[in-house]
Structure 1
Amino acid sequence: MLLLEHDAKELVRSMGIPIPAGVFADSGSIESLPLEGEGPWVVKAQVGVGGRGKAGGIGFASSSADVADFIRKHADTSIKGHKVAGFRIESKVDFVQEVYLSFMVDAAERGIRVMLSAQGGVDIEAHAQHGNAMLSAVAAPEEAALVAAGRQLVEQLPPSLQRPLGDAVEKLARAFLQFDASLLEVNPLFVLPDGGWVAGDMKLGVDENALPRQPALEAVVRSRPAAYRESNFKLDHDFDYVQIDAHGQVGLLTTGAGLSMMLIDEMLQAGRRPYNFCDVRTGQLRGSPTRLIEVLKQFTQGPDIAVVLVNVFAGITDLGEFAQLLLDALDAVPEIKVPVVARLIGNNFAAAKQLIEQSGRPIDVELDLDEALRKAVEQAGVKA
């Protein structure tokens, strides 16, 4: 989960990380903007995705009227498919240099990758392609190891950058570990004329599974249900559900994250648009259709869903029991009137197939995954 920049900055502020003075605003607060300082300001659209600068989501304002105009223009827009959740308005920073610094989980190397470049900003990729070195090191997920690795990179930069960046490495490494982060990127990191530094922009990616032991993070997620919809869903229902295409044709009620991702790829290759990702975790149904009902409720919001594809590999759950839970869930959400293709594999398949067939519902039960996919693709094309 990638936090909004505003939320990330306000979280790390308490750990002594310097950030520009700023406030959060939306279209409802235009008439009484709580601006910090006398300007000029930077107005930043808040979305959980990178690249908003090049997409027009960042502007500069010299007056409160300019700020209001920018907010009005961008309040109802989306950036890379993500609806703008509000705006951070912060004082413009006078700096002498833009730097890039990040910490991120590197699963392949089984550690944390520290990356540093003396040239940051929106053109960081272009800088790297033109030979401007991106320094990198991998360290154990421990504060002392991360700080040591970061300082070794800092020592390769000009002396004028070493003091501010040494301090930045120490504070950001501590924050990365404190919040169970998968990514903490500061770009640009502004080096100031007085030798200090400030986090000009920030991406903070956190592990949703860590939210139960991160009360500050959970409070942020709860405070913005529209911005963190999937994270709130997981907190409420204890399984993963992500809408990936508001106009998707195929609702996926599936278990197993890897298998669910494979189904999404197969659908896209067949020219169909999956509505969602889902890992309903059948082993935790515990005899209740509640999880299935919650997924089906989400499908009622998909205007273009033409078919529901169920894919269940039951290692613990008896398929006969699952079939009854599926029928109960469909009874509980009568708005679902589209055909259902159910690929079931595991214990007691014959009983599950018989139970579903006796229900008289338009559900195709399949043991073979390829055949289930073929039928789902065919049904999705009916409404395409």
Structure 2
Amino acid sequence: MMLLEHDAKELLAELGLPVPQGTLVRKGDTLPLVTQGVVKAQVPVGGRGKAGGIRLVRDRVALREGVDAVLGMSIKGHAVQAVRIEGLIDFVSEAYLSFTLDAAQAMVTVMMSPHGGIEVEDESTREDLATESVALDPDAIRAAVERLSARMPEALRKPMREAGEKLIPAFFEHEAMLLEINPLFVRADGSWAIGDTKLAIDENALARRPRLVSLIETNADLYREAALKLAQGFDYVELDPQGDIGLITTGAGLSMQLIDELVARGRSPFNFCDIRTGQFKGDPARLIQVMQWIAAGPNIKSVLINFFAGHTNLGEIARLLILALDAVPELKAPITARFIGNGLEEAREIIAAAGDPIAIETDLERAIDLAIARAEPAHV
């Protein structure tokens, strides 16, 4: 998962890296006592500047106007719920520096460029973009930083080497998959500061990183999916607020398969879901929660369930589904379930006894076709 810039900078500042002082502001918050600075939309994607999500302000009136304008924007499908207001930095150069993990190879790619503030990672043919892949080892990365910084213009060699060396502990401390500084501001005296950063972490490492867990829990409204996973123990991601087919599935692969199949058929899946039936333990709470989220979708026309039963009996799953449906009467869309595995006949009997509120199919393609047929025609 990609952390918001504000949180990434706070984590780097805690490790002693030079970061401009900044304040996180949500709608209704009191503005900090600054007269000029930068208002920056806090969404986990790039391209904020091009979308109008970064605004330079020179007085209090412009600050208020900038905050009001950016809050509530949507950038690449992400609603802006908070902004970071930070001070200005005097600089003479903008550079680029990043570490990217290749987990499959246990390697790290180190990238440097004397030109920051642009998408240098998409311009790999540039002669001034220096890259090197090395072992996932602090000493190996440090040696790569030494070699690459030596290839930079003279005025940037020392600050880029220092920045790279200081970022290595942060990369390992947070088990980062990506740590990117773009731009790295370099001042006339050779000192440097972090202008913007992307810090992507491995959610599977959260159990070992209490500081990251605390950050997510504190800002649960800004990290909805990650906070949910921590609290509930399963994965749920809203893909398209206007999506017309809700998904309830067990297994990330099954969910992704459904998403691909639906998109190929011209439908818009509302969500990704890996509900993990093995953790139900006789409790419909997870199903109730997901059904409530799906029911809140303004354009839901159909719901598709895909459960493969192994240790968990389909009869038990059917019983919990009926309990969940009773608890979420606002879910009016027709429901189709692709059931396969242990306890299928028992599941059929339980669904039939409840008045057949769920149409059962064992074949995946037929289940997808039926869920689409039970929805309104695809939008043109």
TM-score (norm 1): 0.93
Match of 2:85 among 82, 89, 92: 89
State the Cα deviation string for residues 221-274 of structure 1 (Å, max 9, x = none): 122222111111111101100111111111100011122112111111111111
- Number of matched residues? 379
**Aligned partner letter, 2:3:** L
State the Cα deviation string for residues 70-126 of structure 1 (Å, max 9, x = none): 112222211111111222122222212111111122245332222221211135357
Aligned equivalents of 1:113, 1:286: Cα separation in 2: 43
Q: Is the Cα–Cα contact under 8 Å of residues 295 and 332 in structure 2 kept in the other structure?
A: no
**Aligned partner letter, 1:238:** G
**CA spacing shift, 1:313–1:110, aligned 2, 3 Å:** farther
Q: Name the residue aligned to 2:274.
A: 279
Aligned equivalents of 1:89, 1:109: Cα separation in 2: 39
Q: For residue 257 of structure 2, give the secondary structure of its aligned residue in structure 1.
A: helix
Q: Name the residue aligned to 1:338.
A: 333
Q: Name the residue aligned to 1:195.
A: 190
Question: Mapping of 1:27-106 within 5 angstroms?
Answer: 27-29=27-29, 33-36=31-34, 39=36, 41-106=37-102
Q: Is the Cα–Cα contact under 8 Å of residues 249 and 306 in structure 1 kept in the other structure?
A: yes
1:369 aligns with 2:367: no
**CA spacing shift, 1:68–1:191, aligned 2, 3 Å:** same
Q: For residue 184 of structure 1, give the secondary structure of its aligned residue in structure 2.
A: strand
Structure 1 range deviating more: 353-362 or 180-189: 353-362
Shift of 1:290: 2.0
Q: Name the residue aligned to 1:157.
A: 152
Q: Name the residue aligned to 2:16.
A: 16
**Aligned partner letter, 1:199:** I
State the Cα deviation string for residues 307-363 of structure 1 (Å, max 9, x = none): 110001122212222222222221222222221110011122222223222321331
Q: Is the Cα–Cα contact under 8 Å of residues 5 and 203 in structure 1 kept in the other structure?
A: yes
TM-score (norm 2): 0.94
**CA spacing shift, 1:133–1:158, aligned 2, 3 Å:** closer
Q: For residue 181 of structure 2, give the secondary structure of its aligned residue in structure 1.
A: strand
**Aligned partner letter, 2:7:** D
Aligned equivalents of 2:356, 2:332: Cα separation in 1: 10
Q: Name the residue aligned to 1:148.
A: 143
Q: For residue 100 of structure 1, give the secondary structure of its aligned residue in structure 2.
A: strand
Aligned equivalents of 2:138, 2:119: Cα separation in 1: 30
Q: Is the Cα–Cα contact under 8 Å of residues 21 and 87 in structure 2 kept in the other structure?
A: yes
Q: Is the Cα–Cα contact under 8 Å of residues 33 and 64 in structure 1 kept in the other structure?
A: no
Q: For residue 236 of structure 1, give the secondary structure of its aligned residue in structure 2.
A: helix
Q: Name the residue aligned to 2:322.
A: 327
Match of 2:199 among 197, 200, 204: 204
**Percent of counterpart pairs with the same letter?**
48
Q: Name the residue aligned to 1:317.
A: 312
Q: Is the Cα–Cα contact under 8 Å of residues 247 and 302 in structure 1 kept in the other structure?
A: yes
**Aligned partner letter, 1:363:** I
Aligned equivalents of 2:298, 2:119: Cα separation in 1: 39
**Aligned partner letter, 2:4:** L
1:139 aligns with 2:137: no
**Aligned partner letter, 1:339:** P
Aligned equivalents of 2:146, 2:224: Cα separation in 1: 38
CA RMSD of aligned residues (A): 1.9
